[in-house]
Amino acid sequence: MRLSGAQILLECLVREGVEIIYGYPGGVVLPLYDRFPQYPQIRHVLVRHEQGAAHAADGYARATGKVGVCLATSGPGATNLVTGICTAMMDSVPMVAITGNVARNLLGRDGFQEADITGITLPITKHNYLVMEAKDIAATVREAFYIASTGRPGPVLIDIPKDVFIEEAEFHWPEQVSLRGYKPTLDGHPGQIKKAAKLIDNAKRPVILAGHGVIASGGAPELRALAEKAGIPVITTFLGIGAFPQDHALSYAWLGMHGAYYANHAANNADVVIGVGMRFDDRAMGRFSDFNPTAQIIHIDIDPAEIGKNFKTAVPIVGDVKRVLAQLVQEVQPNTHVEWTRWIDDLRREHPSFIVPDTDGISMAYAIRQIYEATRGEAIIVTGVGQHQMWVGQHYTFRYPRQLISSGGLGTMGFEVPAALGVQMGRPDKVVWSICGDAGFQMTMQELATIVDQNAPVKLAIMNNGFLGMVRQWQELFYNHNYVAVDTKQALCQPDFVKIAEAYGIKALRVTEKEQVRAAIDEAMAHSGPVLIDFVVEQEENVWPMVPAGASLAETIDHPATAKKVRA
């Protein structure tokens, strides 16, 4: 069957099971857009900025586990995807980004809207392609989806010059993918599994650090089985939240810069640390040189390059987390660690860490707790980046994988609005709340239009403290209270978010009093369409506990309220 390059691409996307593409048209992708009406199976969603397309595809992928797809034209369209692609790369999210480029005879000549997007995205994609012939499109798309979704997932970019969309070629759907340079190891080495099991069986104070890889591999049930059988406390990373039910008796919240005091100390006092699908990142582990020097580390990850990158590992196990954990459950002996868990329990009683402060105004922690209660802990929560993100981690109790959608590695402000759209479209059966910062919201608020177009019933809660809150906290603590370029309420322009929402035709509420919080949340829940709530919250709250940048986990500064009580 002879088809144009554009048709071949769309035929391939249909066969890959793509239902939604987030995109923005432009000159060089017009031959592709021209063919969209022939493929009604694929829903094209027009975003209002290409960054939104990438984040929406990312949110869709994180919420569903499927590959998210975004599409942009050449030049500025392609470069606008960059932040979103890098966000997906840092958090190992399966994504395929498709860009058009200038016609082949113009490549490399700096023509109108030419950008070397394969060159630009080289270090921020798992792999990328410049397709120079229509006959290569099918195999390329096949490979791209395979690479994006297998092994350690990640974004793959396909760049296609304009005339390749027009060129005709014979269409063959390749039955197999043959990539001799890409062979992810899935099963853990039996010898290593035995070694790890022995180490676990002999451990007095073991702890599991569960990361995003547990969620990505679908290994949450196996993780639970291992923790319960061997009686091991589970601490997650921030992105690992949801990998283990936080209301479980063996759950000890999450560790890191703003993690729980007791989680940080438990990790730091363990004799065996089992890192599962996580990468021992600096935000989680504190100063590398001082992290628990006596612990033996077992590291399970699908990416061999992560093992030994930051820490010396006693037992490395390369493989798919789900499979390795299943193997490990078979090998370990049933066990309990009563003394050890009691030690952490006592620490938790003395240092509860995640405290809702007693304030006259609305504290963010209070508002988030109220959202948790109103949604009975069943909503999918999308966040931006900063203080509100940390408080969501602290005050919403997550029980399911893929329930918290947040940019961890890259820390992309503005992720919350477009990602929430993608999450809601991927999970129309779920209530989706996007907890936004008042600053991050303004970075991508143009996607409110897309939310309206799609009638996505996303509930947007702006935690409006009139500051770039996390930056302000650092300026207060580490730069002598010298506030520079952070005061968006008094010194700088702060728009009226209610009016903005209303301008887009979105129902909007403003909440200034504590007593109104729950009613506003209930009203938002009762409304069938999207709703925006502008929570005017306490201006200068700080997130505690905190591990100052460059400090060790042992130096975790506790919540001031607790610190006082413990001393007295």
Partner 1 sequence: MSQKHTLVALVEDHPGVLNRVASLFRRRGFNIDSIAVGPTETEGVSRMTIVVDGATTQVEQVEKQLYKLIDVLKVSDITGDRMIARELALIKVRCNNLNRHEIVQLAQIFRAEIIDVTDTTLVVQVVGDEETIENLLAVLRPYGVREIARTGRVAMARGAVSTSVEPEPVEIRQFHRREGRMPQKALPFVSD
Left if phi > 0, otherwise alpha if psi is -120 to 50, otherwise beta: which for 100?
beta
Q: Which is nearer to partner 1, 183 or 567 (CB)?
A: 183
Choice between 69 and 318, CB closer to partner 1: 318
Nearest to 427 by CA among 142, 59, 172, 176: 59
Contacts of 174 (CB under 8 A, 6+ apart): 138, 139, 142
**Long-range contact set of residues 309-318: C-beta below 8 Å, sequence gap at least 24:** 309/279, 309/280, 310/279, 310/280, 310/281, 310/282, 310/285, 311/280, 311/285, 314/199, 315/192, 315/195, 315/196, 315/199, 316/192, 317/188, 317/189, 317/192, 317/193, 317/196, 318/185, 318/188, 318/189
- Is 470 in the active site? yes
* Cis peptide bond upstream of 401, omega within 30: no
Retrieve residue 252's tokens.
Answer: 């000890």
Is 90 catalytic? The answer is no
Minimum CB distance to partner 1, residue 323 (Å): 8
State which amino acid sits at residue 263: A
Query: In angstroms, what is the minimal distance from the CB of 194 to partner 1?
Result: 14
Our CB check for partner 1 shows the closer of 305 and 484 to be 305
Nearest alpha-carbon partner for 358 in 511, 566, 560: 560
**From the CB of 90, what's the least distance to partner 1, in Å?**
13
* Catalytic residue of the set 19, 113, 350, 507: 113
Nearer CB in complex with partner 1: 186/525: 186
112 is catalytic: yes
Residue 50 is a catalytic residue:
yes
Please state at what angle helix 190-202 crosses helix 321-331, rounded to 10 degrees: 60
Kindly tell me which of 15 and 564 has the beta carbon lying closer to partner 1: 15
Taking the least distance from each CB to partner 1, the nearer of 304 and 529 is 304
* Structural tokens at position 98: 């498709």
What SS3 state is found at 106? helix
State yes or no: is 113 an active-site residue: yes
Tell me how far apart the alpha carbons of residues 448 and 437 are, in angstroms, rounded to a whole number: 15
CB of residue 138 vs partner 1: minimum separation in angstroms? Answer: 13
CA dihedral 77, 82, 84, 85 (to 10 degrees): 120
Q: How far is the CB of 74 from partner 1 (least distance, A)?
A: 18
Supply 447's token pair: 């996607």
CA dihedral 193, 196, 198, 203 (to 10 degrees): -160
Strands 459-464, 507-511: pairing is unpaired
State the catalytic residue, choosing from 66, 162, 322, 459: 162
φ/ψ of 43, rounded to 5, equals -95, 120
> What is the CB-side half-sphere exposure of residue 10 using CA atoms within 13 A?
22
Nearest distance in Å: CB 500, partner 1:
39
Active-site residue identified among 95, 257, 463, 470: 470
Residue 34 burial (C-beta neighbours within 10 Å; 0-12, 13-18, 19+): middle
Residue reference for tokens 């929560």: 381
> How far is it, in rounded angstroms, from Cα 91 to Cα 95?
11
Q: Distances from the Cα of 85 to the Cαs of 66, 89, 90, 96, 346, in angstroms?
A: 16, 6, 9, 9, 43
Q: Which is nearer to partner 1, 196 or 451 (CB)?
A: 196
Three-class DSSP labels, 341-388? HHHHHHHHHHCCCCCCCCCCCECHHHHHHHHHHHCCCCCEEEECCCHH
Point out which residues bind partner 1 (CB under 8 A): 118-119, 122-123, 126-127, 130, 142, 145-147, 149-150, 175-187, 189, 303-305, 308-309, 318
DSSP tally for the chain: helices H, then strands E: 24, 20
Phi, psi of 442 (to 5 degrees): -75, -15
Indicate the residue among 163 and 187 with the shorter CB distance to partner 1: 187
Least separation in angstroms between residue 384's CB and partner 1 is 27
CB of residue 284 to partner 1, shortest distance in Å:
20
Q: Which of 7, 11, 16, 50 is catalytic?
A: 50
- Comparison of 162 and 323: residue with beta carbon closer to partner 1: 323
Query: Residues 112, 133, 373, 499: which is the catalytic one?
Result: 112
Q: How far is the CB of 304 from partner 1 (least distance, A)?
A: 5
Rank residues 136 and 538 by Cβ distance to partner 1 and give the closer one.
Answer: 136
Q: CA-to-CA distance for 76 and 95, rounded, in angstroms?
A: 20
Q: Quick check: 554 and 290 in contact, CB under 8 A?
A: yes
What SS3 state is found at 534? strand
Q: How far is the CB of 69 from partner 1 (least distance, A)?
A: 16
Judged by beta carbon, residue 150 or residue 539, the one nearer partner 1 is 150
Catalytic annotation, residues: 50, 112-113, 162, 470
